Structure 1
Amino acid sequence: MVNNILIVDDEEEIMEMLQDFLEVEGYRVFKATNGEDAKRIFDKIHINMILLDIMMNNESGFSICKKFRAESNVPIIFLSALQNDVDKIRGLNIGADDYIVKSATPGEIIARIKAIERRLNQSFEKQNNKIENEICYKNIRLNIDRREIYINNEMILLTVKEFEILKLFLVNPNQVMTYEQILEKVWGYEQGDNHAVRVYIAKLREKLEKSTNQIKIYTVWGIGYKFGETNE
């Protein structure tokens, strides 16, 4: 379960507002105004999720996200005033699990957090029951309980969303998965931004292509994607 949330923002008023409604929902909140403070807190406290602003004085949220993603798959949600698609796509491209515009209501922010939380809880519950499930396809092995991915027995690092997308593909090989199906199964809602799906698929495809030539994610134009063996 997500207990400890780290908010990284250099606007104290916004952090206090976020802290108020997150604590009402039962979360424990930690705050940092820059990347260095965020890293110090992260190294001392078991942080389950990060809410990260982009436009900050000392260092951008994009830069901070890259540093965290280089060493951890902790869920990261950008919470920014930047609303254009270029910034959203860039944020998702560098490893964020979601992107929320600051004009969103507290209810929407909580809903997005809980959508990620539900995915994590499924894994934690199985671990507590000492059940260890694996999905294997060709040279890929996905351990659901430990949330680990191995290709040719070598572990690769995926974000939460990338992990869930690959898991969905692995249990539905050679089947066309529509944008709507992917949004429902991975994001937890039936309608959303197809751009986000395309960004995550592109990053996942890039990581897979670096590690194996046995499988491929195929684009089914206007519909979605199909995962299966390469045609070569």
Structure 2
Amino acid sequence: MKNGKKILIVEDDSAIAEIERDYLEIDGFGVELVDNGTDGIVRGSSGEFDLILLDVMLPGADGFAVCRKLRETMDIPILMVTARQEDIDKIRGLGLGADDYIVKPFSPGELVARVKSNLAQYERLRSRSAMPADGELKVGQIAIRPQSRRVYVRGEELTLKNKEYELLLFMLEHADMVLSKETLYEKIWGYDAIGDSATVAVHINRLREKIEDNPGDPKVIQTVWGAGYRFKA
């Protein structure tokens, strides 16, 4: 049964791409395959897709270059796929605007779960942004207007990527509470933490770079050693 969502898979290994396609189609997704980074940029920029599953190692342009280019115009979820375990690949992809990553080999169930979770989180974000209320959430020098998805730091508007925005909003809504990496992972990425803290840590660091006076000595988003993070009210 079709669910109306369309996924673009950018993967040069045809066997892997076809397995990904088959399991997503079984779950009701429409799927299109491209096998190189150049076509990935062209098709990904078309506005026809709800999510992009993007391999790191690609001919034409690698996944990092594709992600960087797509993020210039597209805000839909991008899931990076890497065959390597090194955090540097994950950190680089997240830093370029990917919403999440998945490491090969992965189970079909994990793939479908991550796709569904990122789509659900994106839809919740869009629904909140569409709310007609004109409220503003403000803590210290940070202000967020959820209905328009605008963020201000000391009165200056700040541009954030999807997961950066969701993370900041959640922390503002829970100011002065200590939030574990596992809690943040579940709430922002939408599924149980799996023991990998790189995703949360990278997004926290990127937020600090954008909102802290001195990111190396953060006063707003504080690290509570052994426990997690706290947004200081």
Which category describes the TM-score, using the shorter chain as reference length?
A: 0.7 to 0.9
Structure 1's 27 and 144: CA in aligned 2 closer, same or farther, altered over 3 A? farther
CA deviation after TM superposition for structure 1 residue 86, in Å:
2.5
Name the structure 2 match of 1:219: 223
Deviates more, 1:81-90 or 1:166-175: 81-90
Tell me the number of residue pairs that the alignment of Structure 1 and Structure 2 aligns.
228
Name the structure 2 match of 1:195: 198
Give, in whole Å, the separation in 2 of the partners of 1:221 and 1:113: 32
Q: Give the CA RMSD over aligned residues.
A: 2.8
CA deviation after TM superposition for structure 1 residue 41, in Å:
1.7
Structure 1's 127 and 98: CA in aligned 2 closer, same or farther, altered over 3 A? closer
- Indicate whether 1:99 and 2:101 are aligned: yes
Give, in whole Å, the separation in 2 of the partners of 1:53 and 1:176: 35
CA deviation after TM superposition for structure 1 residue 45, in Å:
3.1
Give, in whole Å, the separation in 2 of the partners of 1:211 and 1:83: 31
Structure 1's 16 and 158: CA in aligned 2 closer, same or farther, altered over 3 A? same
CA contact (8 A) 2:37 2:59 kept: no
Q: Which of 202, 205, 208 is the aligned partner of 2:208? A: 205
Return 5+ residue gaps in structure 1 as ranges. none
CA deviation after TM superposition for structure 1 residue 5, in Å:
1.5
Give, in whole Å, the separation in 1 of the partners of 2:136 and 2:177: 20
Instruction: Output the amino acid matched with 1:48.
Output: D
Give matches, 1:1-80, under 5 Å. 3-80=5-82
Name the structure 2 match of 1:121: 123
CA deviation after TM superposition for structure 1 residue 218, in Å:
1.1
Instruction: Give SS of 1:62's match.
Output: helix
Give, in whole Å, the separation in 2 of the partners of 1:57 and 1:117: 27
Structure 1's 134 and 5: CA in aligned 2 closer, same or farther, altered over 3 A? farther
Give, in whole Å, the separation in 2 of the partners of 1:218 and 1:2: 41
- Indicate whether 1:182 and 2:184 are aligned: yes
Name the structure 1 match of 2:85: 83
| Identical pairs, percent | 37
Structure number with higher helix proportion:
1
Instruction: Output the amino acid matched with 1:197.
Output: V
Give, in whole Å, the separation in 1 of the partners of 2:35 and 2:219: 43
Alignment deviations for residues 113-145 of structure 1 (CA, whole Å, 9 cap, x no partner): 122122122234456775566423344332334
